Structure 1
């Protein structure tokens, strides 16, 4: 599997016995081949152990943490880290659910994706309350809604935030210029309507590109649909925890807009998290791609896997149809089964501190949830990743795109609905096997089958 990050939330895993998600998440290794300079404090709230303590860590996708463990070990004698990175967020969800149900095998530090929060919060008492390890003292590190997401109904803080997922549009400037359309960042943003960009305009411009080139506008409809859903104040669930899909006319209207795009040939019908081993990012199969910050590392990894490089033409624009949107973002948690909760909490504290979030951004484009890190020169300045994207000021753009983002409530089966209800229906659209109405009806039937009302 090529380096990639979250599930549609994370990636499609064919496991019949467990409900998967796709809404926010990840796969692979960091999208940058460089080793970032981490810097920052190595202090921890846990005393140095009298003998070697091994801490197990499970992450997923391109979280940008892999290059940090050696520094922590060097700065904290007596700590050894055994890290496992699972390819996609969807597969990581299955791994966590399996071990959670068995009551065995969970790591000391477990990465949790935004799209799983509904499931995680239903068993929040099986996670360590990080307030016992100083969470209240550092809670102002993060944007407030990130802390809110990790706080359960009893006020227990069970996770430290890693990244958030503000979204912009990745686009191939060379392909657009060849089609006689603006290929620079500002011109592309204006083409979509700038501050007033809408999905209607996005599809309209896509039809113009299709008419000029005969090629698709975006890779596949699933990621676009996920982005649309994430922009609603309430997505698949209402804030009171009730389902919000059937009889949701606003949601259905967006679905029909998406369906019209597919019927018009704007989708390249790529396989999620594959893209032909990255070749579709290089051969002109599509010209645009929805990009939360963590997806930037995915794009770079895919282009390079497909034989391309910075000269292939990918760029990143400060524009997003429909306004501010967040896709994904993760947390580091400490299951109560950990035999070393103080040491595990100290590691999670350090991994999510300012300089480590800067390093994660440099490695994978994971935009910090720590407020001070967002304006750090390591985020706003040049890096291997910015050079790949035509010297785009990635950190500055993502900071602008993060303005106005509000965390959407994620219910217990949010990921199941995204992947197992709408996932197959999206494939019907992209393959031309069903029109919008038929595909929607299919989704409603699947909803009745896989999600309890």
Structure 2
């Protein structure tokens, strides 16, 4: 039995005589919890757990905010993506303080300090246990680069991915040598990574919109839209059916690759493409963090203590290592990051069977204090930035697309 599997106080006894306690957990994308939840129920026969999975983060959080407003309908455990965390922290009164109801072993020392602190409200409530983080590397189709007579092994490609300038220059070369094939999947995916690397993002710490006086974001916009004009983008909407199919069809040669993307690439590419993808511990601009989530317990839960115990167990180092092994969700827990088991983790699907645990741990150590995400940040990224860049990919002038971004962000921030 795993350490912590029987876990916390009260976990072996039902709360009443009416039968098993039923808990729901609402997630999005791939958290890698399927096997863990089966195990938890086997070790806690008084608890039945149902996982509600939503494909995209946007609809999940829209549903979460709507049900918070309605006062009903939320799961006992709600996953929150870091880009949407600020919107939820504004409503901290509707979530349980996990320092008050959670088990004692789920203390601050479990997580990287920035990960733990980010889930605290202004009045000090802890509303979420950290799950994964998103250290950035670069994934690429080794076979496609070889076919274009370009560097293709993980060491030689590092020069291509050293800076955004070198990355887009390599992209222009690839388009020419490959007969017009795209270099990357979508402008929005690269732009998101570029924005996340900025010292200040869409909003400053006073929650003021920065777009009209943030030269770093404007430079990123100019670079990525210039690459679009050169034919470097496959013009695919992330997580759409066409984007999913693009992995199977070799529709693009490179992919900005936070650790959680490993699982997406593997699943969407299919076994027929095993060995064609590769990953290198290089990323334009030196790396950064993209993504990562939290597990919260809304006050709507009828079983908050049991829900907190399950959330604490799922975010313990041992379970997070297993989630990483299942779906590539890179852990944010100190002991997990220090684990030889993580360092030794390989990915046979990728060329050379890289030690991705060691690779992403090294990338994680490059992350400085993550960028502040103000209210509306996630909405700007998903509902304004992506459509504005898609418009440019379909022929809208970059200056007009930029104005679409600025105007749309202003409507969200108010």
Regarding TM over 0.5, the answer is yes
Equivalent position SS for 2:25 = strand
Residue 165 of structure 2 is aligned to residue 200 of structure 1: yes
For residue 387 of structure 1, what is the aligned residue in structure 2?
A: 348
Tell me the distance in 1 between the aligned counterparts of 2:359 and 2:241.
26
Runs of 5+ in structure 2 lacking a partner? none
For residue 331 of structure 1, what is the aligned residue in structure 2?
A: 294
Residue 151 of structure 2 is aligned to residue 182 of structure 1: yes
1:369-448 alignment to 2 at 5 Å? 369-383=332-346, 386-390=347-351, 391-405=353-367, 406-431=369-394, 433-448=395-410
Tell me the distance in 2 between the aligned counterparts of 1:295 and 1:40.
28
Tell me if the contact between 1:259 and 1:435 (Cα under 8 Å) persists in the aligned partners: no
C-alpha displacement of 1:308 = 2.6
Equivalent position SS for 1:59 = strand
For residue 32 of structure 1, what is the aligned residue in structure 2?
A: none
Root-mean-square deviation (CA, aligned residues, Å) is: 1.7
Tell me if the contact between 1:40 and 1:356 (Cα under 8 Å) persists in the aligned partners: no
C-alpha displacement of 1:389 = 1.2
Tell me the distance in 2 between the aligned counterparts of 1:106 and 1:80.
17
Equivalent position SS for 2:370 = coil
Tell me the distance in 2 between the aligned counterparts of 1:152 and 1:442.
32
For residue 351 of structure 1, what is the aligned residue in structure 2?
A: 314
C-alpha displacement of 1:316 = 0.9
1:40-189 alignment to 2 at 5 Å? 40-47=3-10, 48-50=12-14, 51=17, 52-134=20-102, 137=105, 138-189=107-158
Runs of 5+ in structure 1 lacking a partner? 1-37
For residue 294 of structure 1, what is the aligned residue in structure 2?
A: 260
Equivalent position SS for 2:278 = strand
Tell me if the contact between 2:325 and 2:345 (Cα under 8 Å) persists in the aligned partners: no
Tell me the distance in 1 between the aligned counterparts of 2:312 and 2:413.
37
Which of the residues 273, 294, 303 maps onto 2:239?
Answer: 273
Tell me if the contact between 2:175 and 2:231 (Cα under 8 Å) persists in the aligned partners: yes
Tell me if the contact between 2:102 and 2:309 (Cα under 8 Å) persists in the aligned partners: no
Equivalent position SS for 1:153 = coil
Tell me the distance in 2 between the aligned counterparts of 1:158 and 1:237.
22
Tell me if the contact between 1:131 and 1:157 (Cα under 8 Å) persists in the aligned partners: yes
